[in-house]
Amino acid sequence: MVNDRQSLDLTTFALVQGGGEVEWRISAAPVPYPEAVTEMESRAADIADQKTAELVWLLEHPPLYTSGTSGKEGDLLDPRFPLFTTGRGGQLTYHGPGQRVAYVMLDLKRRRPDVRAYVAGLEEWIIRTLDAFNVRGERREDRVGVWVRRPDKGAGYEDKIAAIGVRLRRWVSFHGIAINVEPELAHFSAIVPCGVADPRYGVTSLVDLGLPVTMEDVDVALRQAFEDVFGATTARLPEATA
């Protein structure tokens, strides 16, 4: 069943009162998770105080697991990588090389103070990004993230290709999304991803779907789709190498 978030009007997210272009940052080297969280929290505070511009930060992490506010102890089946407890929404997920993480720090008070609509906006951003590669991503009412149908695996089978986990502080968002480009999918087997244990629902990536795209290809599509949903961006030069 398609979630009724699909019916929300998302165009208002591009309207920023008294704001400018969103800074677009790409880190070339893997960023340790604690370092990323510290940076996000600091930047979100400055955005709330209107001291700096909003930010989208694209990066990869070294292999690790994170547990959100709904995380359950039993969802970690094999502690093969470090586990970080985090304040974002959602349950347990994996991050690692080959996965494009996008941390999104937007001032929703100046845009649209509606958490449900914001999550729908992030979903729409992912769906439009995937569409650039002729992949149909879909929302689901009973499952978080963006999913693709897998009739090749059997009737009713679907795989998750992108995760969403957000947190707000003073109406500024942080954390964000993760799209599987070419991660090691076997690493997801050590957890119950986002609490979904049904064998019909697995995890996939663009490369797993037979699309040999690069991270740079995905970054270009992400930026175009972001601007369609949320508005203009400006690149940070030189790009960060955190």
Q: Which one is catalytic: 146, 194, 196, 225? A: 194
CB 67 within 8 A of CB 96: no
Phi, psi (5° rounding) for residue 38? -60, -45
Determine whether 194 is an active site residue: yes
Beta carbons within 8 Å of 146's beta carbon, 6+ residues apart: 123, 126, 127, 130, 137, 138, 139, 160, 161, 162, 164
Residue 87 burial (CB count, 10 A): 13
d(CA 18, CA 68): 33
Nearest Cα to Cα of residue 98 among 12, 210, 215, 219: 215
Catalytic residues: 194
